[in-house]
Amino acid sequence: MTIPAFLSFIEGGDRVVGYVQLIDGDETFHFEKKMSTFRHITIGFIRSSLPGKELPNRVKITIQYVHKAVEEGLSFNLVGYKKDDGNYIMNYSTAKPNSSIQFRLDTFTEEFVSGYFESKNTEVNLFLDPIYDEESKKWIIPVFIPIQDEMGGNIPVILYLILIQDYYQKFNDTFEKISKLLLRFSNWFFDINDFNKENMSKLSSQLNDLLDKNIEPEYFEMGKVLQLPDLDRGILVTVLKEHKSGGITLSLLSKQLQETPQNVSAKVDELIKKGILRKYKDNDQTIIDTLWIV
């Protein structure tokens, strides 16, 4: 038996991102799935995305993003490389790059990282020099993000914006807005584990909105946070303080705010849907963390 999530514009190999909402409890849980040629989301898959692997009588499935499988003809692609077991590997891409571009990304990453660790000068610009790939007629813009390790040293993470010529012009036209978004994203990182598919997918969508529609995310500076209703403000201020520690458990957040877990959980889910907070599981505990727009 399958859940009716068959959409004509979704093709086999595409990756869909969204959340499952429990109707009775109003809780939401992230899911991400690479679609098969049948383009079905099965009940078994939805069950695996829920805590306890138990499926209630009613759930609501929301597909937020569809990442197309083939980069050919794609206007924008975000690709990320991070260190894993001593090697730098691609751990995220909006769509799989074609072979010529991936070869250039692999080569550039290896050469940059090697030069970075050998150099005494660790001051590197956020944006590195753009690269033009003649074969694909696309621009590759490397973005450098340093993350501190346990010893206080920097571990470089490399993102790549891959753009057709028209989008490269849009990139130049919206450079200040894109710089602001990526700088906030860079400053938000404190742990290499934050460099995951869920967070990268959100960033990819925000960058695409900027390039395609010139729509900038709604940022929440402290002045704006302080103008929010009491519970919203209390949650954001508390979670923001705990961001460097990887977030705060839902139970501790409720205790600090002196609010019932039910009220806090419902409000947190609202803020998650607005893209302000995120929620994840760690050792069977629900952890609440802020996102880079705060």
Helix (H, G, I), strand (E, B) or coil at 60: strand
pLDDT 10s digits, 108-164: 999 999 988 887 666 778 999 999 998 888 999 999 998 876 666 778 899 999 999
Q: What is the mean pLDDT of each run of 10 residues along the chain (294 residues)?
A: 48 72 74 67 77 74 69 80 86 87 93 85 84 92 85 83 95 96 92 85 92 92 90 94 91 93 92 89 86 92
Q: Are 141 and 171 in contact (CB under 8 A)?
A: yes
H or E element at residue 268: helix 261-273
Count of CB atoms within 10 A of residue 185's CB?
23
Paired residues of 286 in beta bridges: 281
Nearest partner of 185 among 279, 275, 94, judged by Cα: 275
Whole-number pLDDT of residue 9: 58
Query: Burial level of 207, CB count in 10 A (0-12/13-18/19+)?
Result: buried
Whole-number pLDDT of residue 20: 82
pLDDT 10s digits, 74-89: 789 999 999 887 789 9
Whole-number pLDDT of residue 150: 66
Count of CB atoms within 10 A of residue 237's CB?
16
Whole-number Å distance between alpha carbons of 287 and 294? 17
Task: Give DSSP secondary structure letters for 84-98.
Answer: ETTEEEEEEESSBPP
Please report where in the chains the tokens 């993003």 appear, as a residue.
65
Whole-number pLDDT of residue 3: 43
Whole-number pLDDT of residue 121: 65
Whole-number Å distance between alpha carbons of 64 and 204? 12
Whole-number Å distance between alpha carbons of 191 and 13? 30
